[in-house]
Amino acid sequence: MNPKPKYIISLILIMVFSLISRAGNQKNSVGIDCFFSFLDKAKEDKKHEKDNQGAIIRINPDEKVVYLAFTADLYFEGGGHILHVLEKYNLKGSFFFTGNFLREPAFQDITRRIVEQGHYVGPHSDGHLLYCDWQKRDSTLVSFEEFGNDLKNNLAELEKFGVNPEELSFFMPPYEWYNRQIVKWSHQLGFNVVNFTPGTGTNADYTTPEMENYKSSVKIYMGLLRYEQEHPNALNGAILLIHPGTAPERTDKFYRLLEDMIRHFTSKGYRFKSLKQQ
């Protein structure tokens, strides 16, 4: 019988700690700090649920906390409404903006408000590129250099609004579509790829009536309520993606139900946090 993975990891950690302890006093202190930092990081990674591409899709299934995420590229007509609701309930959200969005003059004042109010504001790609093929997911459509420049340029635009790139650790890829390669490259550049929790369904709020996969706001909301009741982890640690803006063809805006959603799940004992607060 093969040893259990946890047992093997424990043995490795013990050996590492033993080696550190044999170092000189100054090196020993630094080594121990690094060791416990490693342990803290391991604990943090352990509580995150990831998909088969390596992206974080649930923060901590042991905590009754919901994480509201908002992404934007071309549209943001609901941004003011969302900010009003979050302010009303003293909540923080997580916003992911493209460079396209940040360069648009019409969105710059509200972006400053979002940053000033302490929400998490992170990258969503500079040019809203498609990183990998829709049908053949493992086929990456950009080089590492192209990916790196896209992310770097996005961070440069965020920095203009007072966002410190050094304080950012989460990145939601454009179209919420990525593969293992993109996740690996993101890690190399210091970011964890994060995405909505599959099955929650709120991400469908971008669909328009002529699309085959169109879902009305009521259908999306009912699906979310059903998911919360039926999933083993309910909405514990779930990341709910809501689009603050959609194409004009969609007049049925799901973000209008944000306040009802917050009130309902708060009454069931859930708390709402941003990725800054996790």
Domain count, the chain: 2
Structural domain harbouring 14 = 5-47
Name the pairing type of β-strands 271-273 and 65-72.
parallel
Q: Based on the fold, state whether residues 79 and 137 are members of the same structural domain.
A: yes
Instruction: For residue 120, list its beta bridge partners.
Output: 94
Report pLDDT for 45: 56
Q: Based on the fold, state whether residues 29 and 88 are members of the same structural domain.
A: no
Q: Based on the fold, state whether residues 204 and 188 are members of the same structural domain.
A: yes
Q: Based on the fold, state whether residues 172 and 43 are members of the same structural domain.
A: no
**Over residues 78-102, mean pLDDT:** 98
Q: Based on the fold, state whether residues 95 and 181 are members of the same structural domain.
A: yes
Predicted TM-score (pTM) of the model is 0.84
Q: What is the pLDDT of residues 7-20, one digit of tens each?
A: 344 444 444 444 44
DSSP state at residue 197: P
Q: Based on the fold, state whether residues 9 and 108 are members of the same structural domain.
A: no
Does a structural domain hold residue 56? yes
Judge contact between 240 and 228, C-beta under 8 A: no
Phi/psi-derived region of residue 222, left when phi > 0, alpha when psi is between -120 and 50, beta in every other case: alpha
**Over residues 86-109, mean pLDDT:** 98
Q: Based on the fold, state whether residues 110 and 240 are members of the same structural domain.
A: yes
Q: Binning pLDDT at 50, 70 and 90, where does residue 47 land? A: confident
Q: Based on the fold, state whether residues 19 and 80 are members of the same structural domain.
A: no
Q: Based on the fold, state whether residues 93 and 127 are members of the same structural domain.
A: yes
For the CA atoms of 72, 77, 83, 86, what is the dihedral angle to 10 degrees?
-80
Instruction: Please report which helix (H) or strand (E) contains residue 121, including its range.
Output: strand 120-123
Q: Based on the fold, state whether residues 40 and 71 are members of the same structural domain.
A: no
Average pLDDT, the chain: 89
**What amino acid is encoded at 164 in this protein?**
N
Does a structural domain hold residue 278? no
**Over residues 42-57, mean pLDDT:** 82
Report pLDDT for 88: 98
Would you state the structure tokens that stand for residue 222, as one six-digit string? 């009912």
For the CA atoms of 38, 44, 46, 52, what is the dihedral angle to 10 degrees?
-110
pLDDT at 270 over 80: yes
Report pLDDT for 94: 98
Judge contact between 195 and 56, C-beta under 8 A: yes
CATH number at residue 61: 3.20.20.370
Instruction: Please report which helix (H) or strand (E) contains residue 66, including its range.
Output: strand 65-72
